[in-house]
Amino acid sequence: MIDFELSEGVQNVQRMVHAVAEQMMRPIAREYDEREHEKPWDFLRTMWQVSHANPIGGGERRKDGPAERNLAMCVSIEELSWGDAGLYLSIPNAGLGGAAVAAAGTPEQKERFLSRFSGDEPKWAAMAITEPGCGSDSSAIQTTAVRDGDHWVLNGTKIFCTSGLMAAEKSEGFVVVWATVDRSAGRAGIKAFVVEAGTPGMYVTKVENKLGIRASDTATLVFEDCRVPLANILGSPEVPKTSEGFKGVMATFDATRPIVAASAIGVGRAALDFVKATLAEHGITIRYGASPHTLTALERDVMDMEAQLEAARLLTWRAAWMMDNGMRNNLEASMAKAKAGLAVTLITQKAVELLGPLGYSRQLLLEKWMRDAKINDIFEGTQQINQLIVARRILGYSSKELS
């Protein structure tokens, strides 16, 4: 039966996470935006204590686990991102790298790599896909993995690796690196390798200066004859005749895209909440249902922002709900991501506009939210890549038929 009410369990999680966002994140949000490459260690350690071992997106599905795992994740991440998107992204956990291990790893690999997300010291796991020469077209990866005795030897450069610095150098974490074992095989030759922090031959050469989400590091990782044990490959080392294996890796995105959408929605809600509260302080209420010819431009804008945000949220919840119920959600995950990324980019821009000089000032957080929001229309599949995926699915086209 159609129902939009969060279960009591999820509501409790929501309240708890909201308190964290309000009390721990908001007060330091501006500071770690301005001090881009410094880390809020107190916050990170506290978050580690309360939430380690909780892989973001597509973590191992426990049989006895809650049936609303993905939905609860989306709800939590909306709250955290309402607090601060950059700080949310910097929270130590198994992250995207952990999601890949959980999705494609053997039981031994899961034990080996995921069990470290406990103990006293915070740890991060990152995912390295993008290269200087390829972003959306991840099948064009140039980083190579060559077998040499009982090791894989990695060579290449990865960029835009979220939490790459923390995973590779500042903790006992790991980086999941996408590399090709056979360039002539195209997509089928692409495999994922777990490279543990401190492995010789893996270097962080740069941490990017960004438009937003500045509390989160975005690293360049260089691999020079970086040797990892044979057992560190996720999935089979065989190069299949088809690109099914690659599709398997891409399926990770079905879990992570709703989460990025949820994060976007959190930022959009922060901006919208602020605008509405400011208007209310000045005695302006939004007259829902008032005759169109009496509505002010301001009321129209706010109503449009609200509808856009709610539409994005419902699409996101649906994608997460499908995942929780074992349905394939490739189309719906991309729909949610495309909608949320764009909607929130526009909502935050409008929020800055509506409050005039206040919106533009670094005294408030609005301008920061606008900068933070934009990343959601780019990472984990740009707006255009998600449109492409939606288009292929609704048209029944392969990637050859629609490229």
Partner 1 sequence: MVNFKPTDEQELIRETMAGFAREVLRRHGREADERNEVPDEVVQRGWELGLVQAAIPEAFGGYGDTRSILTGVLLTEELAYGDAALALHLLAPRLLTIPLIVLGTEAQRARWLPAFAGSEFRAGSAAFVEPRWDFDATALATRAERRGTEYVLSGQKCLVPLARDAEAILVYATAPDGLGAFVVERGSAGLTVGEREKNMGIKALATYPVTLQDVRVPAENRLGGDGADLQRLVDASRVAIAALAVGLSRAAFDYARDYAKERRAFGVAIAQKQAVAFKLANMAIEIDAMRLLAWEAAWKLDRGEAATRESVLAKDYASRTALSITDDAVQVLGGHGYIREHPVELWLRNARGLTTFDGLAIV
The reply to whether 397 sits near partner 1 by the rule CB under 8 A is yes
Distance in angstroms (rounded) separating the CA atoms of residues 351 and 344: 10
Of 145-153, 210-218, 307-315, 344-352, which segment contacts partner 1 by CB under 8 A? 307-315
Q: Which stretch binds partner 1 (CB under 8 A): 49-57, 188-196, 239-247, 285-293?
A: 285-293
- Given the residues 78, 79, 196, 380, select the one marked as catalytic: 380
- Pick from 293, 326, 356, 357: which binds partner 1 (CB under 8 A)? 293
Q: Please tell me whether residue 310 binds partner 1 under the rule CB under 8 A.
A: yes
Cβ contact 193:152 at 8 Å: yes
Choices 87-95, 111-119, 313-321, 346-354; region in contact with partner 1 by CB under 8 A: 313-321
* Interface segment toward partner 1; rule CB under 8 A; list 119-127, 156-164, 265-273, 315-323: 315-323
Separation between Cα atoms, residue 118 and residue 122, nearest integer Å: 8
Report if residue 194 touches partner 1, rule: CB under 8 A.
no
- DSSP reduced 3-state for 191: strand
Strand, helix or coil at 162?
A: strand
User: Residue 148 is inside which H or E element, if any?
Assistant: strand 144-148
394 sits near partner 1 (criterion: CB under 8 A) = yes
How far apart are the C-alpha atoms of 318 and 313, rounded to whole Å? 9
> Considering beta carbons, is residue 127 or 319 the nearer one to partner 1?
319
Active site residue 224: no
Distance (Å, whole) CA 201 – CA 197: 11
By CB under 8 A, tell whether 281 contacts partner 1: no
- Choose which of 4, 241, 281, 357 interacts with partner 1 (CB under 8 A): 4
Residues 6+ apart with CB under 8 A from 242: 188
| Minimum gap (Å) between residue 321 Cβ and partner 1 | 6
What is the closest distance, in whole angstroms, from the C-beta atom of residue 336 to partner 1 in the complex? 9
Distance CA 369, CA 346 (A): 11
**Residue 307 in the binding site for partner 1 (CB under 8 A):** yes
Tokens, residue 403: 């490229």
Give the residue, chosen from 13, 25, 44, 68, that forms a contact with partner 1 under the rule CB under 8 A. Answer: 68
By beta-carbon proximity to partner 1, the closer residue of 182 and 299 is 299
Assess 209 for contact with partner 1 (CB under 8 A): no
- Closest to partner 1 by CB, 106 or 325: 325
C-alpha–C-alpha distance, residues 340 and 6, integer Å: 20
Q: Decide: is 19 part of the binding site for partner 1 (CB under 8 A).
A: no
Q: Which residue type does 395 have?
A: L
Q: Is 9 or 132 the residue whose CB approaches partner 1 more closely?
A: 9
CB of 257 to partner 1, least distance (A): 13
If binding is defined by CB under 8 A, does position 285 make contact with partner 1?
A: no
Instruction: Determine the Cα–Cα distance for residues 352 and 54; give it in Å rounded to an integer.
Output: 34
Euclidean distance between CA atoms 196 and 171, whole angstroms = 10
Q: Which residues lie below 8 Å from residue 321, measured CB to CB, with a gap of 6+? A: 68, 70, 71
298/402 with CB nearer partner 1? 402
Helices 297-324, 252-281: inter-axial angle, 10-degree rounding: 150
C-alpha dist (Å) from residue 193 to 146, 163, 221, 233, 278 = 12, 17, 14, 5, 49
Member of 71, 129, 154, 333 binding partner 1 (CB under 8 A):
71
| Contact residues: partner 1, CB under 8 A | 1-7, 10, 68, 71, 288-291, 293-294, 303-304, 306-308, 310-312, 314-315, 317-318, 321-322, 332, 335, 338-339, 384, 387-388, 390-392, 394-395, 397, 401-402
Question: Could you give the residue numbers annotated as active site?
Answer: 380
